[in-house]
Chains A and B, each alone.
Chain A
Amino acid sequence: MIRPRKAGFSAGNALLWLLPLAFLALFFFLPLGKILAYAAGSAAKNDFALTSLTPVWRPLWFTTCQAGLSTVLTLLLGMPAAYVFAHYRFRGKNLLRVLTTLPFILPTVVAVAGFTALLGPRGLLNLGLMRLFQLDTAPITFMNTLWGILLVHVFYNTTIVLRVVGSAWAQLDERWEQTARVLGASPRQALREVTLPLLRPSILAAALLVFLFDFTSFAVILMVGGPYFATLEVAIYQQTMSLFNLPLAGLLAVVQLVCTFVITWIYGKVNGRRNIPLLPKLTSETLHNLRSFGERLAVFGINTLLITLLVLPMLALAARSLLNLGADGVMRFSTQNYTQLFVNSSNSYFYVPPAGAALNSLFYALVTVLLSLALGTLAAYAMSRARRLQGLLSALITLPLGASAVTLGLGFLVTFTRAPLDVSHFPLLIPIAHSLVAMPFVVRTLQPALNAIPVSLWQAAGVLGASSMKTWRNVDAPLLRRPLLVGGIFAFTLSLGEFGATTFLALPETPTLPVAIARYIGMPGELNYGQALAMSTILLLICGLAIFLLERLQPAGMTEI
């Protein structure tokens, strides 16, 4: 059976690597290489030279700075929330868990609409404050500010911490902490010296994913931050699309890739090989009912914060989709935005029926889940076996998270020009592009769990005469089911909400929900705006339902997270 070894590479291991690496080579390194070569050629042709380092240095500094701040804030909210979800039973927990996952799928333009309804100049909060304190102007500015960027990043990424750390925390054997307490450690000491070190691989994995997501942030910076803020990704977009300066765009894309590689590599070093193998808990014996007043207050506080930051903007959006402005200027309840979705009122050739778009989106998401789970599992096993190369290989797998979507999209365009892999006719390129981003998630959620399986379990199974298939089914599978589920949900939501690659690769015959939403919100008129919000609400409902069903796949008796 597959078990950790001291040696680096073996024949069997190489076989495990074959598929994930071939996938990366064909769909990541080849297109990226082609477009960078094109940029280099154009640089040589036009005698490209940087007169100063400012165009690189300025976005790099801001990118790192905001990503660091966002990650810290996301962890500050996500860690206590992960603790609460892993340790307590409370009413509405399942619903809240699904709801907190949903921000991940919202197209930015729609998330901004939700936040504007709450925090905008005429949003609920500002109107309330203005009435309360008799102010003439809105006291809170959200758009075009740094804190707006940070807030929306927290909105998007808290679910990563909640899921990745929460899943590990729920599996943690409580007896370790209890032993520490019996030996005289204070609760704080037990947390600092026992629990946190045991959780470290998961915390680091979550922090890495959040940081990389913020590091390559694009639409949030563009829309919420406004023109005064530019990350590397935004700069790449501007240089490519508006200034046609491919050499500089290519240089920035390489800088972003190198940073991603270095960050992931450092993460591997910090994470190291010091994972402590532990037998994870399978039953929900770690879950407690709320006992003391303090516990109730803490859980109430954390949940209120989660609902305010993560759920309210989505609720505002759904509420707004059901309101329309009457001829008398008064907002009224109306289902018109929804009924109109099913009518091709302008008789357009490019009309997108909501059911069709939803089916396309779900199909792509499902393919992404299968593809990224299959390839991610292979890669995670290969990595856990080749520990010496683990750092390098894991950095390689993570690289697509740091690749500029604009650059990779152009790479796809220049690479896949012939049948059967033809950008304009091969619809599977969309889920393939989504899987490139989803695979690092699957690997990151699987890896800590895989590394934590004690070798003695496999040895025991072997000694007792279990075939390797049986060992996998009875030892690995139950222990990996939860991280696989978490990874699968990430892949699913990533694909449903992804818009960047889809704009490059979508075929007009098979549009996705985010593409349809963008079409509506790109036109003036109240109904178009309303229909964009209605379509987004439908996207949220479909995704919520799908996650709810996916979580039912969990066998009874497993800790819910």
Chain B
Amino acid sequence: MKQKITLPIAFVLVLSFFLSACKPQPSATAAETATLTIMTHDSFAASEDVIAAFEEENNVKLVFVKSGDAGSTLNRAILTRENPQADVLYGVDNTLLSRALDEGIYEPYDSPLLAGIPAEFKLDETNNALPVDYGDVCINYDKAYFAEHALPMPQTLADLTQPEYNSLLVVENPATSSTGLAFLLATIAEYGEDGYITYWQQLKDNGLVIVNDWSTAYYTNFSASSGKGTQPMVLSYASSPPVEIIYAAEPPADAPTASLVGRNMCFRQIEFAGILKGTPNRALAEKFIDYMLSVKFQEDLPLQMFMYPVNPEAQLPEVFVKYSQIPAEPAALDPAVIAANRDKWLNDWTEAILR
């Protein structure tokens, strides 16, 4: 009897030994080089040579830990704050900034490069969180559709409630998508806390389509994407039109899409990086933050993450200059006001618009 049971146990033990022996090895690194761990969201990207340049210069191996979208990444940093999983956290944006600061997960760092960065991006005076890049969440439209139907572009948020735009717009759910949340905040900036629900009800009466995530909105509903959906207007980024050019199967003569950039129609997302409290690698972490703000890294941002550099010395790639519009008057809200009210706004919006 006993031998019958020990056999499978032995089997599992042998198995687990075999497994731990042959697990995939992350690319081998020399034991003596230090490592610097950066926690970030899934959208983080950079060129190979940009990462390699920093690694060589500082004799360090960079390790990236990705954990979902910006919200889940921040959640992870907060939950593991007693045993920090990384030295640097990148990806908290202005809709999450106050929450990150309130939780006290960062160490302040007064980078010398901050001096060259415009004040409009420096939302945290304590320099716990340093601005790295920004992007505008805007409505993209299908140029061909508007030309074919001889429709004028909507110039304001209010225009979107007009009958000629009935059933033409798809947006993401603010409760499940960061672009959706950005658009909700834009409407609050325009109509105030008392007026935004009424505006959304008008949008809904005008055939607004709401889906949960960006991929569905863009690829299933939007008429100018490869999915060939039915709505010619989609909530996306001001950088999406140039990206459509870069990733076209055949380079088109002109971008198939463009953005609506009227006053308060776009919401500006600013992304921050900061040194996580308790890091044993403070000096290296400072160097990496400086590197993120330097021209080399900043010029790599647009084509890798489709975001804009905060460092004014960084040059934009030509395709961005040509095909992306930068809104003159993006909607803005104080991060502290957002932090204090976002749960209430999201709950009120959900009850009023979805239920």
Contact = CB atoms under 8 A, between A and B. Distances in A.
A540 B42 CA distance: 24
Contacts of B79: 38, 410, 413-414
Interface stretch (A151-159, A372-380, A546-554): A372-380
B173 interface: yes
Given A116-B220, A325-B249, A410-B75, A526 B85 contact: no
**Among B43, B219, B253, B343, which residue has the most Cβ atoms of chain A within 10 A?**
B219
10 contacts: A18-B9, A109-B216, A223-B215, A240-B75, A334-B249, A359-B24, A410-B76, A414-B80, A428-B19, A508-B66
A223 B212 contact: yes
Contact of A143 (B173, B211, B343): B211
A121 B240 CA distance: 23
A227 B173 contact: yes
Interface string B54-84: 0000000001111111011001100110010
A350 B65 CA distance: 12
Contacts of A116: 220, 227
A223 to B, nearest CB: 5
Given A120-B220, A241-B71, A367-B19, A12 B346 contact: no
| Range class of the A interface residue count | 35 or more
A527 B27 contact: no
B113 interface: no
Interface in A351-404: 351, 359-360, 363, 367, 370-371, 374-375, 377-378
A519 interface: yes
A122 interface: yes
A430 B111 CA distance: 38
A10 to B, nearest CB: 9
A226 B210 contact: yes
Given A413-B76, A519-B42, A245 B343 contact: yes
B321 interface: no
Given A349-B45, A524-B237, 13 more contacts: A113-B220, A240-B75, A244-B75, A371-B15, A424-B65, A428-B20, A504-B67, A509-B24, A509-B27, A522-B215, A524-B225, A524-B243, A525-B248
A244 B66 CA distance: 19
Interface stretch (B131-139, B228-236, B270-278, B330-338): B228-236
Contact of B212 (A1, A227, A243): A227
A336 B249 contact: yes
B211 A347 contact: no
Contacts of B65: 424, 507-508
Given A347-B48, A424-B65, A468-B3, A15 B42 contact: no
Contact of A228 (B3, B67, B220, B354): B354
A427 B24 contact: yes
Given A325-B249, A347-B47, A363-B24, A524 B236 contact: yes
A557 interface: no
A162 interface: no
B149 interface: no
Interface string B191-229: 000000000000000000111111110111100011111
Contact of B24 (A16, A346, A510): A510
A556 interface: no
Given A143-B216, A240-B75, A349-B50, A12 B1 contact: yes
A241 B44 CA distance: 18
Contacts of B12: 19, 374-375, 378
Contacts of A143: 211, 216, 220-221
A112 B229 CA distance: 13
B352 interface: no
A271 interface: no
Nearest to B99: A244
B236 to A, nearest CB: 7
Contacts of B173: 226-227
A184 B227 CA distance: 59
B8 A350 contact: no
Nearest to B84: A417
A528 B230 contact: no
A87 to B, nearest CB: 35
A242 interface: yes
B134 to A, nearest CB: 18
B244 interface: yes
A472 interface: yes
Nearest to A245: B343
B247 A528 contact: yes
B114 interface: no
Nearest to A351: B48
A377 B230 contact: no
B85 A417 contact: yes
Contacts of A350: 44-46, 64
A33 to B, nearest CB: 15
B83 A222 contact: no
B176 to A, nearest CB: 6
Interface string B312-355: 00000000000000000000000000000001001100000010
Contacts of B19: 367, 370-371, 428
B215 A506 contact: no
A228 B353 CA distance: 9
Interface string A210-240: 0000000000001100111000000001101
A503 interface: yes
A418 B354 contact: no
Nearest to A500: B68
Given A509-B27, A510-B26, A529 B226 contact: yes
B250 A472 contact: no
A527 B67 CA distance: 25
B246 interface: yes
B36 to A, nearest CB: 13
A415 to B, nearest CB: 10
A420 to B, nearest CB: 9
B224 to A, nearest CB: 10
B240 A524 contact: yes
A490 B173 CA distance: 34
Contacts of A425: 26
Nearest to B24: A510
Nearest to A225: B212
A324 B85 contact: no
Contacts of B7: 469
Interface in A104-121: 109, 112-113, 116, 120-121
B34 interface: no
B213 A525 contact: no
A12 to B, nearest CB: 5
Contact of B249 (A144, A326, A360, A378): A326
Contact of B1 (A227, A468, A523): A468
A526 B80 contact: no
Given A12-B1, A244-B99, A428-B23, A227 B249 contact: no
Given A348-B46, A503-B67, A529-B225, A223 B213 contact: yes
Interface string A470-507: 00100000000000000000000000000000011011
Top 6 closest A-B pairs, CB basis?
A: A525-B247, A324-B249, A417-B83, A509-B26, A227-B173, A527-B247
A138 interface: yes
A346 B47 contact: yes
B5 interface: yes
A239 to B, nearest CB: 10
B87 to A, nearest CB: 12
B138 to A, nearest CB: 13
B37 interface: yes
A199 interface: no
